[in-house]
Amino acid sequence: MDEILTTVGAHEALFVSIHGHVDVGDEVVIFEPFLPCYKNLVEMVGGVVRFVTLTLDSGKWIFDLVKLESCFNKNTKIVILNNPNEYFGKVFTTKELEFLAFLCHIF
């Protein structure tokens, strides 16, 4: 790791990360539910938010892999992922994280 950024809190870290990497028209993938500041920070710089919703299925929080893939394109700059998710405590599986990493790599 060649670059390290120290901030006084998570909100500031998000602020500088988003402002440093997102330009007008760039897209940011956010898993729902999320903290309201995520969407606000992206829109503040003219970015576009693409949502992937977690849904409850047989007692487990899941998301649609096809929906996730449809959120990715040449304009995707950032994925905001809390693991475990702040609201539900969902811990993303290895398969889910590997698929997400694959999408990040090809786009």
Which residue, among 80, 85, 67, 65, has the nearest Cα to 27 in the 3D structure? 80
Domains annotated for the chain, with CATH where assigned, are 28-106 (3.40.640.10)
Q: What is the pLDDT of residues 21-64, one digit of tens each?
A: 999 999 999 999 988 899 999 999 999 999 999 999 999 999 99
Residue 85: band (very low, low, confident or very high) from pLDDT cuts 50, 70, 90: confident
Q: Average pLDDT of the chain?
A: 94
pLDDT at position 1 over 90: no
pLDDT at position 3 over 80: no
CA atoms within 13 A on the CB side of 86: 12
pLDDT at position 9 over 80: yes
Mean pLDDT of 76-80: 97
pLDDT at position 16 over 80: yes
Which residue, among 64, 65, 81, has the nearest Cα to 28 in the 3D structure? 81
pLDDT score of 2: 80
Q: At CA 49, angle to CA 48 and CA 55, rounded to 5?
A: 160
pLDDT score of 19: 95
Residue 86: band (very low, low, confident or very high) from pLDDT cuts 50, 70, 90: confident
Q: Write out the two tokens for 79.
A: 């994925």
